[in-house]
Amino acid sequence: MFIELRGRICDCLRAARAVRCEPQQIVVTAGTQHAIDTAIRILLAPGDEAWVEDPVIS
């Protein structure tokens, strides 16, 4: 899904940031909260603890 978009993002990262990547390594999300949720689900194992800052500024 979104393979063409992921390929273009990868091309931009290569050109602008000299990042070595492949389109399969690019994850497209629906926003910041979705990106954080996805990263947490990928990087943490069940039972791991993490601190997450509250994005709401009082």
Residue 2 confidence (pLDDT): 85
Q: Is residue 54 part of a domain?
A: no
Q: Is residue 52 part of a domain?
A: no
Whether 58 has a pLDDT exceeding 70, the answer reads no
Q: Is residue 19 part of a domain?
A: yes
CA separation (Å) from 55 to 6, 30, 38, 49? 27, 17, 17, 18
DSSP-derived 3-state class of residue 36: helix
Q: Is residue 57 part of a domain?
A: no
Residue 56 confidence (pLDDT): 75
Q: Is residue 18 part of a domain?
A: yes
Whether 57 has a pLDDT exceeding 80, the answer reads no
Q: What is the mean pLDDT of residues 37-56?
A: 85
Round to whole Å and give the CA distance between 55 and 29. 18
Q: What is the mean pLDDT of residues 13-41?
A: 92
Q: Is residue 53 part of a domain?
A: no
- Look up the pTM and report it: 0.63
Q: Is residue 50 part of a domain?
A: no
Q: What's the DSSP call for residue 25?
A: G
19 is in which domain, residue-wise? 3-43
Q: How many distinct structural domains can be found in the chain?
A: 1
DSSP-derived 3-state class of residue 20: coil
